[in-house]
Structure 1
């Protein structure tokens, strides 16, 4: 049964995040041949609206307001509820990002709707849309469906393949004015830590280090490898606690959950808390001098050796591959 599905796109530093295109692809599955409408919020978003059409949105709604320049719970909640009220969709999809995890439960409560969070796959089974999501820190998976009412879900970045970009696709781009008032929080200034230019949560390749790197300087070979591969740099909580790197790089149960195509686990023992954040990576390469390290149990490829000896050799060989 065809549905109208509303997708909330995410913008960071004036650019659409990849999860926006993945959400559109999920929306297409949920819509079952119906209409997928993408909403994009910000102070100036005209420059990104067409891209949403190229990636499969049938229509795009621009919601421009000075209070939407950066994400705040109150402003985005008010704006999204007004878009939902205008469009009356049967489905709603957000990215399972920091903003999505904060916003989606609040919207579900306001709409008295069910919410399936952190979905990694979407499929249609008869009359139902079925979502797959990880449980028990990724050790098992469950399938969920909403049998009546709004089909509302957040999707984990880097799991649902976006539609191929097609600039010949056409779709209506319109604007919607919203009334935002009584804000409890406003953003005056954003100060970001200096990290890799690649967004860790959406990176296709991640080079992560643990306590085995031994120092801040020990992360330099990892950063060099990441530079060669165009990858993001990540870390275990142990490495962050030891002040080898900033907590913004932390991957794990209390850090970021990532699912890259390729994950280098370097000097990482593979504690269960870390595995919870990366075990669903499509390919895992582990480098550790301890052959009994738990990381080798989940790795697709393992190298037993001193990372400071192995990594320079690996980096040089990969430079040749990239250059060719």
Structure 2
């Protein structure tokens, strides 16, 4: 069975949930092998975690020579790893990334380097009749759902978070160290300063299983949105109108010019449902809208709709949820 490479998304060895989803998808296509970029002393914890989700091998690449630069060194390292596997006649049948900004850029650079096809932002991946990966994507602002396959080289696929339910299964987790040789060209752009994002205590917007978003109907008061989100353990999002009004930072924006989310539950509060916003959330598994305008376009999309003022509906819902959790 051919290897399927999964690039681990982590922070200091703390593996993020989308990686477990990718490993689950990889098992549909072949034998999952994970690729870890990071400090050698952080690798052991990550190895144990991905091993629990079926990783048969873990290629550990010490990032001492890679960090401090943008994504070019990682793409070069992956190119060399793939080349080594090809030389051993064990070429991977697919390479999977999480659809983050970094993941998509590394995937694109790698596709050029190994002359392979690339599919981004898949919401599902299954094995075709010949075992080839067949992806499902939502395209043209969500107007169409398409299936696609890569017809040249090793399929490189980036997958949106929450596209699969992580399934635990024991893997061998055999560790193989890999040391790439990074060119000077790949080091041509260096990071000279970085600042960690301020923690909110809420899950990352693009990875959250539940997202509660607010729009123009909040009137700039996001307190009901945030309290309701916290009662559900959800992330907070915002529409373009709310961001353009200066009520929330752009990092919270969900939509065609913001972030694309695909949670299990999406609650749109005070959001009209313009196509710009719908493009960023309509692949959510269950959609609930709260809006006092019963003719708002958002109601055409939802699974459940509440016609009412969010400033009354959400506090009441928050109180009931808190009561039931007690």
TM-score scaled by length of structure 2: 0.91
Corresponding residue of 1:171: 173
Match of 1:39 among 32, 35, 41: 35
Cα distance, 1:72 vs structure 2 = 2.0
Distance 2:12 2:257 in 1: 25
Specify the SS of the correspondent of 2:247: coil
Specify the SS of the correspondent of 2:117: coil
Cα distance, 1:169 vs structure 2 = 3.9
Q: Over residues 146-174 of structure 1, what are the superposed CA-to-partner deviations in whole Å (9 max), with x where a residue is unaligned?
A: 3453122111111122222x4x5432122
Corresponding residue of 1:55: 53
Distance 1:169 1:56 in 2: 4
Distance 2:320 2:68 in 1: 42
Q: Over residues 42-67 of structure 1, what are the superposed CA-to-partner deviations in whole Å (9 max), with x where a residue is unaligned?
A: 12431212111111111101111224
Tell me: CA distance 1:30–1:180, structure 2 relative to 1, closer, same or farther (3 Å): same
Quick check: 1:206–1:231 contact (8 Å CA) kept in 2? Answer: yes
Corresponding residue of 1:207: 212
Corresponding residue of 2:5: 6
Q: Does 1:290 align with 2:293?
A: yes
Corresponding residue of 1:139: 143
Tell me: CA distance 1:55–1:318, structure 2 relative to 1, closer, same or farther (3 Å): same
Corresponding residue of 1:277: 280
Cα distance, 1:197 vs structure 2 = 3.0
Quick check: 2:117–2:152 contact (8 Å CA) kept in 1? Answer: no
Specify the SS of the correspondent of 2:280: helix
Quick check: 1:60–1:172 contact (8 Å CA) kept in 2? Answer: yes
Task: Could you tell me which runs of 5 or more consecutive residues in structure 1 were left unpaired when the two chains were aligned.
Answer: none
Cα distance, 1:8 vs structure 2 = 0.8
Specify the SS of the correspondent of 1:278: coil
Report how many residues are paired.
Answer: 315
Tell me: CA distance 1:6–1:169, structure 2 relative to 1, closer, same or farther (3 Å): closer
User: Which stretch of the first structure deviates more once superposed, 95-104 or 10-19?
Assistant: 10-19
User: Which stretch of the first structure deviates more once superposed, 132-141 or 245-254?
Assistant: 132-141
Corresponding residue of 1:186: 190
Q: Does 1:318 align with 2:321?
A: yes
Task: Could you tell me which runs of 5 or more consecutive residues in structure 2 were left unpaired when the two chains were aligned.
Answer: 87-91
Corresponding residue of 1:105: 108
Specify the SS of the correspondent of 1:93: strand
Corresponding residue of 1:30: 29
Quick check: 2:37–2:62 contact (8 Å CA) kept in 1? Answer: yes
TM-score scaled by length of structure 1: 0.91
Superposition RMSD on alpha carbons, in Å?
1.8
Corresponding residue of 1:120: 123
Distance 1:103 1:148 in 2: 18
Distance 2:128 2:249 in 1: 44
Distance 1:148 1:243 in 2: 45
Corresponding residue of 1:303: 306
Corresponding residue of 2:243: 240
Quick check: 1:9–1:38 contact (8 Å CA) kept in 2? Answer: yes
